[in-house]
Amino acid sequence: MTGFDRAPSSGLAGRHTIDRIMPSVASALGAPGFTNSLSLPEAPRYVVMLVDGLGQTLLEDNADAAPFLSSLHGVADVVCGVPSTTVTSLTSLGTGLSAGEHGMVGYTSRVPETGQRLNSLKWDQPVDPLVWQPYPTVLHQLLGQGVSASSVNDAKFADTGLTLCSQRGVPFHGVNSVWERLDVILEVIESAPRSVTYAYESRLDHTGHAKGCTSPEWREMLSTIDREIADLRAELPADCALIVTADHGMVDLPMTDRFDVDQQPGLMDDIDLLAGEARFRHIYTRSGAADDVAARWAEVLGDRAVVRTQAGSEDWFGPITPDVRPRIGDVLVAALGDFAAFSSNDFAIELKMTGFHGSITEAELRIPVLVAT
């Protein structure tokens, strides 16, 4: 069974979401003011390892390639949130808030004050990350309570906009190799009797985008990461719990006959800006045109996507604050099946990719929360 055979989510209500992970860890550490809604085991020290792109569906379908991860106990039915994309999920994980609150609503989104498109990975607009995302991280709150909290990540991500939005307020330990990451994690963990460390792994997601998540290269990378995490668990102190999770899943799309919105007569009428990504589009319309644009897109796309206006999107984004609302598209397009809304004018690089995420299918939303004690 492929990810396309699984029905789209009707919403996130009643399900565990990624923003509950860090508050649950904090509570399991004994920090007051947090709720352990995921029922994580009590421990004085925690490592939270996020493997970018390791969806629960992918892990289940490739269990033989990841024997260590597949052997671990997991929290049932956890989803990353909408859109199922890195910038949104990492910020939800870091802050304990949903996208409608923290404001990282997509890979790209509109800056309301200028009307320009912000790429939240490149941070290519003159926007202050501390203003764009004003809430403290859970790690920062724990540091203020006397817990040794830190982040271990690729050195190139130090002081980026996304890092400041999702991990700020604690020491950032930049590393340049897997072995250096292992050494630094161990040093940080062993330096304090009560601690939490966040660590990030990017290679699986990169492989999936380039080669596809059904490729031999992807499976080989999964096996490599599985061995590395097993080595990490073996080296961690006995009183340290390890959580392995992800920011989204992934699906492969055919390279031929891709739907290009810029080649569809009339489809881009009344649209000021296109953002998001191929599997989840934010569409910003001229004033008063949202309903007409949504109807036009729904008619053209049919059952290949869920098209809705921003009104009523709280079941995707959670409660939406006044500052965040104008960052969200007036019309939202969530792709289904093996479909995506490509744009050769604005997002030509996506036409070269194989693996995608961002939408509301179970294959993209479901993430593992694995516990190794």
Kindly state whether residues 213 and 285 are assigned to the same domain.
no
CATH number of the domain at 202, please.
3.40.720.10
Do 284 and 136 lie in a common domain?
Answer: no
CATH number, residue 290:
3.30.1360.180
DSSP 49-106: EEETT--HHHHHHTGGG-HHHHTSEE-SSEE--SS-SHHHHHHHHHHS--HHHH---S
Residues sharing a CB contact under 8 Å with residue 16, sequence separation 6 or more, in sequence order:
37, 38, 75, 76, 77, 78, 79, 369
Same domain, 84 and 205: yes
Distance separating alpha carbons of residues 35 and 50, to the nearest angstrom? 21
pLDDT (0 to 100) of residue 313: 85
Alpha helix segments (H runs only) across the chain: 21-28, 56-61, 67-70, 86-95, 99-102, 129-132, 138-144, 161-166, 178-190, 203-211, 216-235, 290-301, 314-317, 362-365
Are 12 and 63 found together in one domain?
yes
Q: What is the pLDDT of residue 337?
A: 97
pLDDT of residue 1: 30
Same-domain check for residues 294 and 240: no
Q: DSSP secondary-structure letter at 303?
A: G
Cα 90 to the center of its chain, rounded Å: 5
**Total domain count, the chain:** 2
pTM: 0.96
> What is the domain range of residue 317?
261-353
Angular region, 199: left φ>0, alpha ψ -120 to 50, beta rest: beta
Do 272 and 158 share a structural domain?
no
**Which residue is it, tokens 């104008």?**
326
Locate tokens 């492969």: which residue?
Answer: 252
Segment-wise mean pLDDT, segments of 10 residues, the chain, 373 residues: 42 89 98 98 98 98 98 96 98 98 98 98 98 98 97 97 98 97 96 97 98 98 98 98 98 97 97 98 97 98 97 90 98 98 98 98 98 96
Cα–Cα distances in Å, from 353 out to 121, 248, 253, 322, 348?
Answer: 17, 17, 9, 35, 10
User: Rounded to whole angstroms, how far apart are CA atoms 291 and 309?
Assistant: 7
Which segments of 237-277 does DSSP mark as H helices, in order? none
Report the alpha-carbon distance of residue 308 to residue 371 in Å, rounded: 37
Apex CA 173: angle with CA 228 and CA 238, to 5°? 50
Judgement on whether residues 237 and 277 belong to the same structural domain of the protein: no
Partner residues linked to 251 by β-bridges: 356
Q: Is 269 helix (H, G, I), strand (E, B) or coil?
A: coil
Distance CA 239, CA 373 (A): 8
- In this predicted structure, what is the pLDDT of residue 68? 98
SS3 345: coil
* Contact partners, residue 110, CB within 8 Å, separation at least 6: 116, 117, 118, 273, 275, 282, 284, 326, 327, 329
Same-domain pairing of 163 and 290: no
Q: Are residues 279 and 366 in the same domain?
A: no
On whether both 302 and 366 belong to a single domain, the answer is no
- Euclidean distance between CA atoms 58 and 41, whole angstroms: 26
Based on the fold, state whether residues 59 and 11 are members of the same structural domain: yes
Residues 34 and 154 placed together within one structural domain of the fold: yes
CA–CA separation, 251 vs 55, rounded Å?
Answer: 10
